[in-house]
Chains A and B, each alone.
Chain A
C-alpha cells in the first residue's frame, strides 16, 4: 500500500510512502474521511516527505481532506514538504490555504496538542 495510516491516541498519522497516482490520492481522501469518523480522531497528520512532486491535483486533494476532517471535528497538519517541492509550489502559485504545516512529525503532534487543547479550553 502506498500510504500507511497509523493511529496514535486521538490522532491519525498518514504516511505517504511514494509517488501516488491520482486514484491513490482519491482513495486516501475516502479512507481518511472514514477513519476520522470511526475513530473519532481529533487530529490528522499527513506526511508528504516522500512526495517529490505536489501539483495542483494533490494540493486540491489535501485541501479537501482538511475541510472534510474539519467538518468531522479534526484538525489536519501537513508535514514534510521537501525544499524543492516547496519552491515548485510557490513558483506555481499553488495556494495551500487554509492548511497548517509543520516541519516534521514531532512538530505536528505538538501543534495538534496545542490546537486540541485550545479547543478544549475554549470549550469548542
Chain B
C-alpha cells in the first residue's frame, strides 16, 4: 500500500525533488503518459509559488486507490500572507510578457480537480488531484456491480 510523500520546500533546489517525486509516484500508480509529466509540471508551478512568494512550505503527495479508479492528490501548503485575489490568480495570469507568473491557471488546466484556500492568517493551501479509471472494463464492471 502506497504511502504519502512529503517534500519540504525551502529553495528552488527543492522544486527538482518535488517534480521528481511527483513523477515517480504517478508512474508507480500506473498513470499512462502524458499524465506523469502533466502532474510534475503542475507541481513545479505550485511549488515555485511557495518559494517565490513565501519562502517556505510543503508539498504532500497522497495516492488513493479505489476499486474502479486510482489517483494522486497534491497538497501545497504554506504559511504566507495569502493570495489577495484568488479569482484573479486563477485567471490567466501568465501572459507571456512577464505577468505575475503565478501559474495557478495553467496548473489547473493540467489537473482534474483544483482547489485554493487562502487567507492572511492561515496561509495558502492548494489541493489538486488527477485520477483515472483503472480501465474501461473496470468502469463498466463497477457500474454493473453498483446496479446489482
A and B, one complex?
yes
Give me the interface of A with B, judged by CB distance under 8 Å: 19-23, 52-57, 60, 63, 82-85, 87-88, 91-95, 97
With A22-B15, A60-B98 known to touch, is A85 a contact of B37 (CB < 8 Å)? yes
Looking at chain B's contact residues, the main secondary structure is: helix
B40 near A92: Cβ-Cβ < 8 Å: no
Of the A-B pairs whose beta carbons lie under 8 Å apart in the complex, a sample of 21, sorted by A's number, is: A21-B13, A21-B16, A22-B12, A22-B15, A22-B51, A53-B19, A53-B23, A56-B45, A56-B94, A56-B106, A57-B48, A60-B98, A60-B101, A63-B96, A83-B34, A84-B37, A91-B38, A92-B41, A92-B107, A93-B92, A93-B109
Q: A57 CA to B43 CA in the complex, in Å?
A: 13
B110 near A91: Cβ-Cβ < 8 Å: yes
Q: Which of B13, B51, B94, B110 contacts A88 (CB 8 A)?
A: B110
Q: A82 CA to B33 CA in the complex, in Å?
A: 12
Whether a CB of chain A sits under 8 angstroms from the CB of B44 is yes
Size category of the binding interface on chain B = 20 to 34
Whether a CB of chain A sits under 8 angstroms from the CB of B103 is yes
Inter-chain contacts of A93 with B (CB < 8 A) = 92, 94, 105-106, 109
Chain B residue at minimum C-beta to C-beta distance from A55: B44
Inter-chain contacts of A92 with B (CB < 8 A) = 41, 106-107, 109-110
Whether a CB of chain A sits under 8 angstroms from the CB of B20 is yes
